[in-house]
């Protein structure tokens, strides 16, 4: 289950390419895991749905269309399971010492006390459309333009998500992961078939369509 949760996050964030096909396939795998009896499937699907919607809504014409798309993955998968159940259906989970990191929970381990910086970082990159600008500065997309308060925004969101479990070192881990993995403006433009590639430092303060 832990690997499927990570796969769903990565698929929704386009890390494996086409978000639609990969997310649909992972949703089906999760539903099969639930059919067997693995715990946590509904939570993973719920959190994955939120990440998927934030990641693709701009391309789909809004949250409603993106939400309906993910819901269709789930509904179609349930129909397949009803029509063609597996032999191991209902046999239960036999994972030994498994650790599950649910997208949106940011914690893993048998006791839920191990912080997962990559999971939170990936979700924030998708939510804020954060990119890495010149000089290692973080930019986010807001109100039709790139603004250069990316670090401040990420720091605020980390504090909100971790609440009483917030620590400065945990913020540093999230920011470090963001800078190491997030797209540059040119990479974002190439992924969305943009013809004009501009760095956020040049976009800051000017209205510009979201890549």
Give the tens place of pLDDT for each residue, 147-181. Answer: 889 999 999 999 988 888 899 999 999 999 888 87
Asked if residue 142 has pLDDT above 50, the reply is yes
pLDDT of 100 > 50? The answer is no
Model confidence, pTM:
0.51
- Do residues 9 and 100 touch, judged by C-beta distance below 8 A? no
* Residue 132 contacts residue 121 (beta carbons within 8 Å): no
In the sheet with 131-132, reading across from the earlier edge strand, the strands are 131-132, 138-142, 145-147
Residue 97 banded pLDDT, cuts 50, 70, 90? very low
Is pLDDT above 50 for 86? yes
The count of other CB atoms within 10 Å of the CB of residue 205 is: 10
């Amino acid at each position: 289950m832990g690997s499927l949760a990570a796969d769903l996050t990565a698929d929704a964030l386009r890390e494996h390419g086409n978000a639609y096909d990969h997310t649909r396939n992972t949703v089906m795998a999760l539903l099969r895991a639930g059919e067997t009896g693995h715990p946590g499937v509904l939570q993973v699907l719920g959190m994955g749905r939120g990440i998927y919607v934030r990641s693709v809504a701009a391309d789909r014409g809004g949250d409603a269309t993106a939400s309906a798309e993910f819901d269709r993955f789930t509904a179609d998968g349930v129909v397949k399971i009803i029509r063609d159940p597996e032999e191991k259906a209902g046999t239960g989970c036999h994972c030994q010492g498994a650790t599950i990191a649910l997208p949106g929970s940011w914690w893993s381990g048998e006791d839920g006390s191990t912080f997962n910086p990559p999971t939170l970082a990936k979700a924030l990159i998708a939510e804020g459309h954060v990119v890495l600008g010149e000089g290692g500065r973080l930019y986010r997309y807001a109100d039709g333009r790139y603004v250069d308060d990316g670090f401040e925004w990420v720091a605020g969101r980390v504090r909100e998500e971790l609440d009483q479990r917030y620590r400065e070192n945990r913020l540093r881990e999230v920011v470090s992961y963001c800078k190491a993995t997030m797209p540059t403006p040119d990479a974002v433009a190439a992924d969305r078939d943009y013809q004009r590639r501009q760095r956020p430092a040049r976009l800051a303060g000017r209205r510009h369509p979201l890549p």
